[in-house]
Structure 1
Amino acid sequence: MATAELVLGLLADGPAHGYDVKRGHDAWFPDNRPLAFGQVYTTLGRLARDGLAEVVDRGSEGGPERTVYAITDKGRKHLADWLLDPVPPAWGSADEMLRKLVAAVRTGGDPTEFLARQRASHLRRIRELNATPTGDDPTSPLVREYTVAHLDADLRWLDSVMERITEQKEPRR
């Protein structure tokens, strides 16, 4: 995931401290894993080091010290370039689901139980997403639709793999 560029995108709306950046990210992607505070502060530090963001204020306002960051002109250019660059298709990548399936088959295990549990997990997640309102943010339905479409594609793949494995196990007549 391009965390640095997302943080730059969040800073494009105006200066913010780490807590605001984290909260903004989590609002942009409510159906995904929340961004960890440690990742936020590490990313902000790298962006400042690389001249893509800068510290514009340090204050405590009665609480803990908060460092406020702003995007620089160099950061705006980097963000604009990133937004124009298409994402390469994910050919040849193997995510954890595929790795587990291959390991189950290659080690002589029975992958059908894994496939059934994975399918149930995907169906449960789709039901959760469809049962939860997306809110007023105009991008939330886009994120939700993307996530559900990918889960649905995974389900079709899981079904085809289960069918293939089941056919291979059946005795030939």
Structure 2
Amino acid sequence: MSTRHVLLGLLAGGSSHGYDLKRRYDERFPQARPLAYGQVYTTLQRLVRDGLAAVEGTDSDGGPERTLYRSTDEGARELARWADEVTPPAPFVTNEIFAKVVVSILVAAAAGGSDRTSDAAAYLQAQRAAHMARMRELTELKTTPGTDLSTVLSADYALAHLDADVRWMTTTSTRLATLTAEVDTA
């Protein structure tokens, strides 16, 4: 997710302080990786530097000084361009789970183990259990009365990805002997 574009999107609704942008980010993207305040302010400074946002003023309201940011016309054009871009599917599949399966086979081979698939199978079983636990948490979260639509949609997205991982783990478990043979000959 592009933090700069998300912040520009939040600024599209009007001028805002960094603290308020962070709070609104947390509300709109409840299942996303948390955004640190430092990241918000660093990104805002870059947006100002690049002419996509501007400082509208500062105030203190009896507390620490707070800077008010607004999107510029160039920022609005950049946001529209980004929002219209089709996100291309990832050109490379980076899968840490698959890497750990192969490494488990390699480690068992280096140790001279006769059953090289058992460590990989055990790892897949443990990983599947962790995925299933997370899927239960997300299902409970999205079915809790009063849950907002942003949270439900984020949970649905995560559940679809976790489900795909679980199906992949099931298929891989049935192919471990063949994978082990390929790893051994490579």
TM-score normalized by structure 1?
0.87
SS of 1:14 mapped into structure 2: coil
Partners of 1:31 and 1:129 within 8 A in 2: no
126, 148, 155: which one aligns with 2:159:
148
Tell me the distance in 2 between the aligned counterparts of 1:85 and 1:134: 35
What amino acid maps onto 1:142 in structure 2?
L
Give 1:41's aligned residue: 41
- What runs of 5+ residues in structure 1 fail to find an aligned partner? none
Q: Which stretches of structure 1, 4 residues or longer, exceed 6 Å deviation after superposition?
A: none
- What runs of 5+ residues in structure 2 fail to find an aligned partner? 110-118, 181-186
Offset of residue 135 of structure 1: 4.6
Give 1:8's aligned residue: 8
Partners of 1:48 and 1:54 within 8 A in 2: yes
What amino acid maps onto 1:123 in structure 2?
M
Q: Which has the higher helix share?
A: 2
Deviates more, 1:99-108 or 1:72-81: 99-108
Which structure: larger Rg? 2
RMSD: 2.1
Partners of 1:134 and 1:141 within 8 A in 2: no
What amino acid maps onto 1:147 in structure 2?
A
Deviations 1:58-87 (A, max 9, x none): 111111111111111101111101111011
TM-score normalized by structure 2?
0.81
Q: 2:161 aligned with 1:158, yes or no?
A: no
Tell me the distance in 1 between the aligned counterparts of 2:7 and 2:134: 27
Tell me the distance in 2 between the aligned counterparts of 1:98 and 1:168: 11
Q: 2:127 aligned with 1:118, yes or no?
A: yes
Deviates more, 1:75-84 or 1:102-111: 102-111
Offset of residue 137 of structure 1: 4.1
Tell me the distance in 2 between the aligned counterparts of 1:165 and 1:111: 8
Give 1:73's aligned residue: 73
Deviations 1:121-161 (A, max 9, x none): 11111111111138564433322211111111111111111
Offset of residue 41 of structure 1: 1.0
